[in-house]
Amino acid sequence: MASFRLRPKFEMISEKPMAELITLVNEKCKNNTHHLTGLAILDQISIWVEKAHRKYWSPQLSILMYPHDDGTKTRILGTYGPMPTVWTFFMFLYITIGVLVTFITIIGFAQRSLGNDHRILWVVPILLIIAATLYVFSQMGQKLAAHQMYNIHFFFKEILEEEVPEV
């Protein structure tokens, strides 16, 4: 897993058609010893860690499938990331910090241009430090969950019985 990537991705072409992939994933997710579960519906596949073995930072694999050529092959786009609740929480914090920085900067420079007290601008570096700290925490969480991500990766490789690009 490469550093400084919020959500590692891969792309590949499978020799199997979409319908066969959906069947394979659903069968293998019911009967496996990897403590993983998943679901395949229409053109999407999700594989995640079973609830009993899940931690806050546990990842999931989200896959989109597209027919390739005449439908005998499948184009697969995979993204590893945290569970949706964790991802949403971090995005909410990043967006909140971004909005606060924008408004505080506008207010601060407006006050400065009017010759008023503009000490509010000192909040901007503090918010940027908080954003950097959030990023560091997200990277630490990604490292803590790396072994689970590799389990999911190799489980998907086992399902496909094909080579899956490294992330």
Asked if the model's pLDDT at residue 4 lies above 60, the reply is no
The number of CA neighbours under 13 Å toward the Cβ of 22 is 12
The predicted pLDDT at position 1 comes to 47
If one counts every other C-beta atom within 10 angstroms of the C-beta of residue 51, the result is: 9
**Count of other CB atoms within 10 angstroms of residue 101:** 17
Confidence of residue 101 (pLDDT cuts 50, 70, 90): very high
Q: Both tokens of residue 18?
A: 């979409």
pTM of the model: 0.79
Q: Does domain 9-83+146-160 have CATH number 3.30.310.80?
A: yes
- For 102, other C-beta atoms within 10 Å of its C-beta total 11
41-77 pLDDT, tens digit per residue, is 989 999 999 988 888 889 999 999 999 878 789 999 9
